[in-house]
Amino acid sequence: MDKIISKVYQIIKDSSNLIETEEAIQSYMYDVFAQLMGQILSNFNEVIKEEKQREGWKVKRADWKTVQFIFGPVRYRRTLMVDTNNQNHYPLDEWLGIRKYQRHSPLVEVKVSELVSKATYRDTAAILNEWTAITLSHQTVGSLLKRVGAAQSREDEENELELEEATELPEGKKVDYFYAEADGVFVRGTEKKKSLEVRHAILYEGWEKNGKRVSLKEPKAIMTTKKTAGFWAEVQAFTANHYALQQAQIITNSDGGQGYTADKFQEAFSQSNYPVLNQLDSYHVFQGLNRAFGSQTNVFKQHVRQALKTHDLDELTIWLDTYESTLDETPAVEKLNTFRTYVLRNWDRIFDWREKAEQVPKDARGLGAMESNQRHISFRMKKRGMHWSAEGCEAMVKVKQGMFNHTLREAYLHQQNRSTRQQRKLKQTVRLSSLLHEKTRQSVGAKNGTIPLYASHSSAIGQLIKSFR
């Protein structure tokens, strides 16, 4: 500690201003933490090595490994050992959850992925280089994103597999009403003239108020670039693993596009004993209305809107025909016919769910949360001419999903294979006393020296002299 204080004192003394001082102290403390961490991990290694030797493992050699932590590169000594089955291991790395060839700590990998979900690869690298002891290239940022995103993806796949192999449904949370909305977002692919569809679902239990602000209750997201079947399998697995929906009324919302039809929702929520209500998303209806009639209000648009609201097909047809008779240009007619086809194809789904369901909750609101929740995908992945590979796109949306659902870190650590059993076993093996204990050394005889008689009373020697007096 005295050495650290002296160093900080010297930094303050030699610096010309407080900004320079703080930067120098930060850099120095990063170095101190990195050195201490390296020493501690090396001590862990010795304790684990001795325990494994007692189990019959053999020492093959000792190696040095450097891992980039938030506070800088940590260099530590680890032992390569051979178990009783003649298999090679680095016991310390296995317990820590450090993969073979891993060069960044779990926290660095997760933090980089969380940051890059909001900023570009280059911006993320620049921010980390400026604010931490981490030095990364934008290529490395992309690699770490793919690794962490793949961990969340594998976790989702394992949940699907567990559900398929289960003999009965898990005991999930019981709710009276459950809400689901789904839609797709297209982003540019790296292949010429080819887009990638991000399939996106929002699942929630209702609404809750915080003052005047209303937000979704317990919202969860499913995001993937998988095909339609894979997407809905993830939706089904998630809900089945978290909710008991047998007695729940399922309310769903979509634009009715390919892959988001009523039958898809019915299949995904088949555990409910009630038919799934699926309404046509009002945002897409009125978006089509504006395309056909223009953004400005007119008498035809007002009457068509009213006919949709009252679900009066005859009135709707009259006003659509009347408006069509006023059109001369072919493009305008085509827009109107597109709208007509869309509405008529989904006519049975144009309703407000609150008029269909029984015993509607007091806080019930209209559905339509999909568009606002898709903005964080669009903002990050569609701006500035961005193009995505299939792997990079899937990794990005899985990281976003994990952050939204607060599962990313848990999924990452689970895939690191640092098991609870390993941790428990090491805790039984490693004691603080064993880490700090120095082996007894043979005496080399008495040493000559002097004890000052006028030492400071606050010092250890001073206190000793005082006790004699």
The CA distance from 286 to 87, in Å, is: 65
Residues 303, 421, single domain; the answer is no
The CA distance from 80 to 466, in Å, is: 53
Residues 354, 418, single domain; the answer is no
Both tokens of residue 229?
């079947």
pLDDT confidence bin for 427, thresholds 50/70/90:
low
Residue 439 has pLDDT above 50, yes or no: no
From the list 162, 168, 167, 250, the residue with the least C-alpha distance to 205 is 250
Between 13 and 243, residue with greater pLDDT: 243
| Whole-Å CA distances, 295 to 203, 282, 305, 324, 343 | 31, 16, 13, 17, 18
pLDDT confidence bin for 465, thresholds 50/70/90:
low
Please report the pLDDT score of residue 132 as a whole number.
87
Residues 362, 418, single domain; the answer is no
pLDDT tens, 127-166? 998 888 888 999 999 999 999 999 999 999 999 988 888 7
From the list 239, 221, 234, the residue with the least C-alpha distance to 173 is 239
The CA distance from 53 to 60, in Å, is: 11
Give domain status of residue 260, yes or no: no
CA 307 to chain centre: 44
Q: How far apart are the first and last CA of the chain?
A: 30
Please report the pLDDT score of residue 447 as a whole number.
46
Q: Mapping DSSP to helix (H, G, I), strand (E, B) and coil, where does residue 128 land?
A: helix
Angle at 61 between CA 60 and CA 63, to 5 degrees: 145
Percent of the chain with pLDDT over 70: 88
pLDDT tens, 402-412? 999 999 999 99
Give domain status of residue 346, yes or no: yes
Q: What single-letter DSSP state applies at residue 148?
A: H
The CA distance from 28 to 13, in Å, is: 15
Please report the pLDDT score of residue 370 as a whole number.
87
Please report the pLDDT score of residue 187 as a whole number.
93
The CA distance from 109 to 103, in Å, is: 10
pLDDT tens, 331-385? 999 999 999 999 999 999 999 999 888 889 888 999 988 888 888 888 889 877 7
Residues 8, 140, single domain; the answer is yes
Residues 320, 422, single domain; the answer is no
Q: How many CA atoms does the CB half-sphere of 27 hold within 13 Å?
A: 9
pLDDT tens, 283-295? 999 899 999 999 8
Please report the pLDDT score of residue 219 as a whole number.
95
Long-range contact pairs involving 158-166 (C-beta distance under 8 Å, separation at least 24): 159/237, 159/238, 159/241, 160/233, 160/234, 160/237, 162/241, 163/236, 163/237, 163/240, 163/241
Please report the pLDDT score of residue 423 as a whole number.
54
Residues 86, 6, single domain; the answer is yes
Residues 135, 56, single domain; the answer is yes
Q: Which domain holds residue 29?
A: 2-148+412-433
Q: How many CA atoms does the CB half-sphere of 314 hold within 13 Å?
A: 0
Please report the pLDDT score of residue 130 as a whole number.
87
Percent of the chain with pLDDT over 90: 65
Cα dihedral angle (379, 180, 414, 396), rounded to 10 degrees? -20
Residues 288, 425, single domain; the answer is no
Between 13 and 322, residue with greater pLDDT: 322
Give domain status of residue 327, yes or no: yes
Residue 452 has pLDDT above 60, yes or no: no
User: In the predicted model, what is the mean pLDDT of residues 51-69?
Assistant: 95
Q: How many CA atoms does the CB half-sphere of 418 hold within 13 Å?
A: 17
Give domain status of residue 447, yes or no: no
Give domain status of residue 249, yes or no: no
Please report the pLDDT score of residue 90 as a whole number.
95
Residue 438 has pLDDT above 50, yes or no: no
Residues 15, 104, single domain; the answer is yes
The per-residue DSSP string of 12-27 comes to: HHH-SSHHHHHHHHHH
Residues 11, 72, single domain; the answer is yes
Residues 134, 54, single domain; the answer is yes
Cα dihedral angle (451, 453, 458, 461), rounded to 10 degrees? 20
Give domain status of residue 274, yes or no: no
Please report the pLDDT score of residue 222 as a whole number.
96
Residue 421 has pLDDT above 80, yes or no: no
The CA distance from 256 to 288, in Å, is: 13
Which residues are within 8 A (CB) of 47 and not within 5 positions of it... i.e. 6 or more apart? 429, 430, 434, 435
Residues 341, 421, single domain; the answer is no
The rounded mean pLDDT for the chain is: 87
Q: Is the CB of residue 73 less than 8 Å from the CB of residue 121? A: no
pLDDT confidence bin for 43, thresholds 50/70/90:
very high
Lowest mean pLDDT among 51-60, 323-332, 345-354, 427-436: 427-436
Residue 296 has pLDDT above 70, yes or no: yes
Please report the pLDDT score of residue 254 as a whole number.
94
Domain count, the chain: 2
User: In the predicted model, what is the mean pLDDT of residues 40-54?
Assistant: 94
Please report the pLDDT score of residue 426 as a whole number.
56
User: In the predicted model, what is the mean pLDDT of residues 388-408?
Assistant: 96
Residue 168 has pLDDT above 60, yes or no: yes
Give domain status of residue 396, yes or no: no
Give domain status of residue 456, yes or no: no
The CA distance from 422 to 95, in Å, is: 6
Residue 212 has pLDDT above 90, yes or no: no
